[in-house]
Homo-oligomer: A and B are copies of this chain.
Amino acid sequence: MAEEVKLFGFWSSPFSRRVEIALKMKGVKYEYIEEDLTNKSPLLLKYNPVHKKIPVLVHNGNPIVESLVIIEYIDETWKHNPILPQHPYDRALVRFWAKFIDEKWPALRNSTFGKGKEREVAIGEACEHLKTLENELGDKKFFGGEDIGLVHIVANILGIWFGVYQEISGLELLTEEKFPKLCKWIHECVNHTAIKEDIPPRDKLIEFYPARLRAASK
């Protein structure tokens, strides 16, 4: 039986894009279904009734949701070109850092798009989180293992999306001056051949987010 792989996503979502990167690293062919997030399809709601969100991967009729859960599924289902390292301790480390970046993302986002006091608090928190990453990175070339993998895929959210949010909001937090190692590492991540082609054009994102924010504040 031919495999059926479908991805319900949205072009500007970092969570949707990371699943696409994982599928392409494995060379898995898939059908991509762009969702209208203002009018979600009955299929999306059927496949992800709990969170009603993209991304959803549907493999031979079985839906998998939550981007980190999906990437582990992809790595376990198509075993070539591993995304997670092989040794349990290395696996634990990359799971820890991928989780760390995702858990700290709301503070990073609010440091740019938050309002008033909420934004002020978020800037302080975001700065601490970036310091943690800068310290952890040290002189390693690829944070979370020597080969490109889970943490690099997840780190796009810093390299691309946080950069765009900073530009729109005028915040200057994640700069080469303040976080030289992290900036260098992020630059290498987003320019890696396995990743570069699957991130949306920066100018499209710069155009998209202010309009979305205006719509959300109406």
Contact = CB atoms under 8 A, between A and B. Distances in A.
Interface of A: 50, 59, 62, 64-66, 69-70, 72-73, 76-77, 88-89, 91-92, 95-96, 99-100, 132, 136
Contacts of A59: 89
Nearest 3 A/B pairs, CB to CB: A76-B88, A73-B92, A77-B88
- Which DSSP category, helix, strand, loop or mixed, fits chain A's interface? helix
A73 to B, nearest CB: 4
Contact of A92 (B72, B91, B100): B72
Contacts of A72: 91-92, 95
Give the copy number.
2
A158 to B, nearest CB: 16
16 contacts: A50-B100, A50-B132, A50-B136, A62-B89, A64-B89, A64-B96, A66-B95, A66-B99, A69-B96, A72-B91, A72-B92, A73-B88, A73-B91, A73-B92, A76-B88, A77-B88
Contacts of A65: 96
A108 to B, nearest CB: 16
B92 A64 contact: yes
Nearest to A51: B100
Given A70-B92, A72-B95, 16 more contacts: A50-B100, A50-B136, A59-B89, A64-B89, A64-B92, A64-B96, A65-B96, A66-B95, A66-B96, A66-B99, A69-B92, A69-B99, A72-B91, A72-B92, A73-B92, A76-B88
A22 to B, nearest CB: 13
A62 B72 CA distance: 23
